Amino acid sequence: MHRRTFLTSATLPFVVPAADRLFSATPLQTPAPLKPARLQPGDTVGLVTPATATYQQEELDIARESLEGLGLKVAIGQHVRDRHGSLGGRDTDRAADLNGFFGDRNIKAILPTRGGWGTARLLPLLDFDVIRRNPKILMGFSDITALLNGIHARTGLVTFHGPNAGGRWDGFSVDYVRRILFGGESVTFENPKTTSDRNVLTQVENRIRVITPGQATGRLLGGNLTVLTAILGSPYVPNFDDSILFLEDVGEDWYRVDRMMTSLKLAGILPKIRGFIFGTCSECGPGEGFASLTPEEIFKDHIAPLGVPAWSGAMIGHGHAQWTLPVGARVSIDTSTGTVRMLEAAVS
C-alpha cells in the first residue's frame, strides 16, 4: 500500500455544522481524555473512504472481508465508491459518511479502505460535538493521520494508528489489533528479534538504531510526517507539550524529510517533546540530482540536540507489519530495547 490508506461504511444523512468551518490557528489546550469502548465479536464497524477513491470493487471486497475475518459486521458508507477527481467523492459527502457513522449508535468503530490524499480537506466539515458525544474506535494510518490527530485535538478521543481496512493484515499486525482493541490490554510494543534466511548470523530486518539513549514518559502523538506538517498552523494539531512524537513516511526524498523536520522545529513542536520514535520511510532515497543528507544525519541535526530519548526503526510505516498505536494515550519508551509501553488501556 502507498501513503495514506483507510476504510468506508453506510452513513446517515447529515448537515455540515457551520460553527466548525472556520477557526483561528490559536494553539489548543489538551481536552480531557476520552476513550472509546472496546470491540466485541459481532460488533458493526463502518467502512469509509475519506481520502483517495476506492477504484475497484475488489478493493472494497477485500477490506470488508478482512474486517469480517476479525469477527465483525461491516456497514458500507453511502459514498464509498464515489469519485471526485482522485478523491473518494466530494468533501461534503465523505464528511457526511464520517459524521453519520459517529452519530449512529449501532456503529462501534470506523475504518478507511485506504489513504492517499484528501483527509485534511474534511476536518472543517466534521461535527466534533457529535464525535465527542459518541466516542468510538477510529483506526488507520498514512493520510488518515489528519483525522487521528485532528479529532484527538478537538475532542480528546484516543484514536489508533494501525492498519487500514484495505491494507496489510499479517499475523503480527492482527495480534496487536486484537489485544488492544478487543482485549483492552496495555501492551508493550517491540520489534521481533529474529534472524532470517537472508542472514542466520544476525538480525537484518526490523533493527532499531538509537539516536539518544534513555527513557521517557508522555502522551503519544504523531503519524505520517508529510500529513502532519501539512496541517501545521491549523486548529487540528494537538498540543505537543510533554509528548512522545512518532513519525513515518513513504516515497519521500530525504531532503524533503529534512525540510519537514525543519518545519516541525520552526513550528515549535520538536522543542516540546519528551521523546521521539521514527518508524520507516519506505521507498525513500536521496532524490535525483541531490547530494542528500542521510537519515542518520537528519536525526543528528534535528533530534539529537533536543537531548530527549529517541530511536528509529520502529514497526511503524508502510508496506510491512505494524503496531496499533493509541494516539493520545500515555506511554513510556525505552531506547535500549526499542519499546513503547502503554501505561493505560486505550479502550474502556
Statement to judge: residues 19 and 164 lie in one domain: yes
In a domain, 22, yes or no: yes
pLDDT above 70 for 13: no
Provide the domain limits for residue 56.
Answer: 5-169
Which DSSP state fits 180? I
Contact between residue 120 and residue 147 where contact means Cβ atoms under 8 Å apart: no
Which of the residue ranges 11-15, 180-184, 274-278, 306-310 would you say has the lowest mean pLDDT?
A: 11-15
Whole-number Å distance between alpha carbons of 153 and 104: 22
- Report how far Cα 159 is from the mean position of its chain's Cα atoms: 8
The larger pLDDT score, comparing residue 257 to residue 30, is at: 257
Statement to judge: residues 240 and 156 lie in one domain: no
Which of the residue ranges 159-163, 267-271, 282-286 would you say has the lowest mean pLDDT?
A: 282-286
295-302 and 254-266 are packed helices; what angle lies between their axes, rounded to 10 degrees? 10
In a domain, 119, yes or no: yes
Could you list the active site residues? Answer: 142, 248, 318
Statement to judge: residues 207 and 110 lie in one domain: no
343 CB neighbour count, 10 Å cutoff: 13
- Per-residue pLDDT band for 290 (boundaries 50, 70, 90) equals low
Q: Which residues pair with 115 in a beta bridge?
A: 5
pLDDT above 50 for 214: yes
Statement to judge: residues 45 and 192 lie in one domain: no
Q: How many domains does the chain have?
A: 2
Q: What is the CATH number of the domain that holds 121?
A: 3.40.50.10740
Q: Are strands 209-212 and 215-224 parallel, antiparallel or unpaired?
A: unpaired
In this predicted structure, what is the pLDDT of residue 202? 79
- Per-residue pLDDT band for 128 (boundaries 50, 70, 90) equals very high
Q: Are strands 325-327 and 310-312 parallel, antiparallel or unpaired?
A: unpaired
In this predicted structure, what is the pLDDT of residue 205? 80
pLDDT above 80 for 48: yes
How high does pLDDT run on average in the chain?
A: 89
pLDDT above 90 for 141: yes
Whole-number Å distance between alpha carbons of 261 and 276: 12
In this predicted structure, what is the pLDDT of residue 271? 96
Which DSSP state fits 238? P
Using alpha carbons, select from 286, 287, 306 the residue that is nearest to residue 295: 286
Alpha-carbon distances, residue 114 vs 54, 92, 181, 230, 285 (angstroms): 7, 18, 20, 19, 24
- Report how far Cα 79 is from the mean position of its chain's Cα atoms: 22
